[in-house]
Structure 1
Amino acid sequence: MTEATVLLLRACLVLLASPIYILSFLGIWEPFCRKIFFPFFIENMCAVHEKKTKKRKQDLFSNLPDFKSRSGELKLLEIGTGCGANFQFYPPGCKVTCTDINPNFQQGLSRSMNKNQHLHYERFLVAAGEDLHQVPSGSVDAVVCTLVLCSVQNVTGTLKEVQRVLRPGGAFYFLEHVAADHSSWKYFWQQVYYPTWKLVFDGCCLTRELWKNLEQANFSQLNLEHINVELPWTPITPHIIGYAVK
């Protein structure tokens, strides 16, 4: 399909979503989105995503105990914790530091913490992935980031921070939606949805080729797999999953 077709369909979406664009212009949408809409959406979307990816996540996080420090502790930092959808997959006794740029997930996060009391929750930091200065260098054994790299301001900067806070031999776990194959209809619709989706869903970018950022990040080991997560009526089917070792 031609670029003109993409632009025409984008314009149609803008018309359909015009109330949100107007609220954004007036400076109303972003505060409402971050405080009310996005936390509600993430908690409910994560429940659907969780059903589709539970087995994958169980397999992904199964080797977390292998990255315990010499003292036998496992210190884990999660970037973009949201409502704590990953807590159930962490091993008992794991010491978790939660971070998120949006501080408005308290209710969902508290529910997840109450359900997962096999973990030790050390602290919650309001922080962007690109700036984890509150976390000392080389202080954690594992970093987890799921459905977050799509919306960070700087993917390369975030991965540099991941490597900084990891101890040598520590691991970075990821599960992210990514751009579809450029010759596919999925990619065509990702291009169509892109600007409106990014506005509605707090900066989420549909066409990032995140596997390239990971390949260029100079981890000593990268285990990465391309998968499809069937989420009806959404353009975020293509995903990558895996872990990298510092």
Structure 2
Amino acid sequence: MTEASILLFRACFMLLAMPIYLLSFLGIWEPFCKKIFFPFILEKIAAVYNRKTKRQKQELFRNLPEFTSPSGELKLLEIGTGCGSNFQFYPPGCKVTCTDIDLHFQKGLSQSMSQNQHLHYERFLVAAGEDLSQVPSGSVDAVVCTLVLCSVRDINSTLKEVLRVLRPGGAFYFLEHVAADHSSWNYFWQQILYPTWKLVFAGCCLTREIWKNLEQANFSELKLQHISVPLPWMPNKSHIIGYAVK
């Protein structure tokens, strides 16, 4: 499809979403999105993602115990914890520090914590991925980030912070949706929906090629796989999954 076709279809979707754009212009949409809409929809989406990616997540986190520190503890930092959808996949006794920029996930987070008593929850930090200054350098064994790098303001700055807080030999685990193959219909729809999707879903970008940022970061080892997650009627089926070692 031509660039003109993409712009035409994009304009049509923006027109359909005009009430949201108007609310955003008036300064109403963002507070509503953060307090009510996004926490509600994220909890629903997280449940669907966990069903669709349960096998992949189990495989991804299977070797987490291998990164236990010499002291015998496994200290894990999760960026963008949200409602705690990953807790069930962490090994027993793992010491978890949760971070998020949004406090409105607390109800879902508390429920996930009560359902996953096999973990030790150390603290919750209000922090963006680009600024983890509350976390000392080299203080954690593993960092986890799932469906978060699509919405951070700066991926490279976030990865630099990940490398800083990881101890030498620590691991960064990721599962992120990414841009589809540029010749595919999926990518065509990603381009069309991009601006409206970003507004509706709190800054989520559909067309980021996050694997390139990971390849250019200063990890000593990178295990990365491209997968497709079966999400009917969704434009973000293309994903990357894996881990990187500092």
TM-score category, normalised to shorter length:
over 0.9
Matches within 5 A, 1:100-111: 100-111=100-111
> Which position in structure 2 is the counterpart of 1:129?
129
> Which position in structure 1 is the counterpart of 2:208?
208
Count of residues in Structure 1 that have an aligned counterpart in Structure 2:
246
Are positions 1:183 and 2:188 aligned together? Answer: no
1:35-92 deviation line (CA, Å, top 9, x unaligned):
1100001000011111100010000000000000001000000000000000000011
Distance 1:97 1:169 in 2: 19
Counterpart residue identity of residue 233, structure 1: W
Give the secondary structure class of the aligned counterpart of 1:182.
Answer: coil
Kindly report structure 1 stretches of 4+ aligned residues shifted beyond 6 Å.
none
Distance 1:218 1:69 in 2: 21
Give the secondary structure class of the aligned counterpart of 1:183.
Answer: coil
Q: Could you tell me the percent identity over the aligned residues?
A: 79
1:135-175 deviation line (CA, Å, top 9, x unaligned):
00000000000000000000000000000000000000000
1:73-126 deviation line (CA, Å, top 9, x unaligned):
000000000000000000111000000011110000000000000000000011
1:173-228 deviation line (CA, Å, top 9, x unaligned):
00000000111111100000000000000000000000000000020000000000
> Which position in structure 1 is the counterpart of 2:28?
28
> Which position in structure 1 is the counterpart of 2:235?
235
> Which position in structure 2 is the counterpart of 1:112?
112
Distance 2:141 2:50 in 1: 24
- The TM-score, its normalising length taken from structure 1, stands at 0.99
Query: What is the root-mean-square deviation in Å for CA atoms of aligned residues?
Result: 0.4
Distance 2:127 2:97 in 1: 12
1:223-245 deviation line (CA, Å, top 9, x unaligned):
00000001111100000000000
Matches within 5 A, 1:68-87: 68-87=68-87
Distance 1:231 1:99 in 2: 27
Are positions 1:197 and 2:178 aligned together? Answer: no
> Which position in structure 1 is the counterpart of 2:41?
41
Gaps of 5+ in 2: none
**Following TM superposition, by how much is the alpha carbon of 1:11 offset from its aligned partner in structure 2, in angstroms?**
0.8
Distance 1:181 1:19 in 2: 32
Distance 1:218 1:163 in 2: 8
Gaps of 5+ in 1: none
